[in-house]
Structure 1
Amino acid sequence: MTLNKISPLELSTLVKENKDIVIIDIREDYEIENDGKIDGAIHIPIGDLINHLSDIPKGEKIIFHCNSGSRSENILNFMIMNNLYLDHYFSLDGGFSAFKNLV
């Protein structure tokens, strides 16, 4: 099984169209304080994520992101290896940095 990725452009379109998505920001507090966040994103730091998977609201697409995309890919690969991954989980390709540069 391979993890799903979503491009910053596709995410921007989904946000603008108010589609049924949930955005999970797994960055640390200081990263959000310094750089801001995507409107409507739910902040669950990566260290807390596995313990809070059941708290994630339902959505057609659940999009995880960090700053560059590497931590969100790592956590989704961890989920795949531990049978926690669901088909509607996505990693934001390029992370928040790529999204911020787009909008």
Structure 2
Amino acid sequence: MKEITTSELQQQLESGATLNMIDVREADEVAEGMIEGAIHIPLGEIPDRMNELDASQPYIMICRSGGRSGRATEFLTGHGFDVTNMVGGMLEWSGEVK
């Protein structure tokens, strides 16, 4: 499984990179703040909503600690997507949130 650290992701965003990020936490968790530019698709909805994703684009999965995003990464990778898991999740995120 491909992984990216919170600091690596923050550096890419600060350098102006355009990234496709998906936050798989539940609604009450994302209400506390999401990384700017991320879209919210709860983990349980990934199988039904993966048709919203472009298989030609890479994605970064985000959750609270890295566990659920890891499961989403494995699932989507198994369906032919290029997916990277943000290890440490929002617990380790020190950047801004919206």
Bucket of the pairwise TM-score, normalised by the shorter protein: 0.7 to 0.9
Deviation at 1:15?
A: 1.1
- Map of 1:40-55 to 2, 5 A cutoff? 40-55=37-52
Deviations 1:24-59, CA, capped at 9 Å, x for gaps: 0000000011x2110011001111111111212577
Which structure shows the higher helix fraction? 1
Amino acid at match of 1:54: N
Q: Contact 1:27–1:45 at 8 Å: present in 2 too? A: yes
> How far apart, CA to CA, are the structure 1 residues paired with 2:13 and 2:30?
19
C-alpha spacing 1:28/1:37, structure 2 compared with 1 (3 Å): same
Aligned partner of 2:27 among 19, 26, 29: 29
**Aligned residue for 1:98?**
92
Q: Percent of aligned positions with the same letter in both sequences?
A: 27
Instruction: Provide TM-score, normalisation by structure 1.
Output: 0.80
Conserved 8 A contact 2:76-2:83 = no
Runs of 4 or more consecutive aligned structure 1 residues displaced over 3 Å after TM superposition: 57-61
**Given the alignment of the two structures, is residue 64 of structure 1 paired with residue 61 of structure 2, yes or no?**
yes
The aligned counterpart of 1:84 is 79
- State the AA in 1 paired with 2:92: A
Q: 2:8 aligns with which of 3, 10, 20?
A: 10
Question: TM-score with structure 2 length normalisation?
Answer: 0.83
Aligned letter for 2:28?
Y
C-alpha separation between the residues in 2 aligned to 1:23 and 1:72? 11
* Superposition deviation, residue 85 in structure 1: 4.2
Select which of 64, 70, 76 maps to 1:73. 70
User: How many pairs were matched up?
Assistant: 95
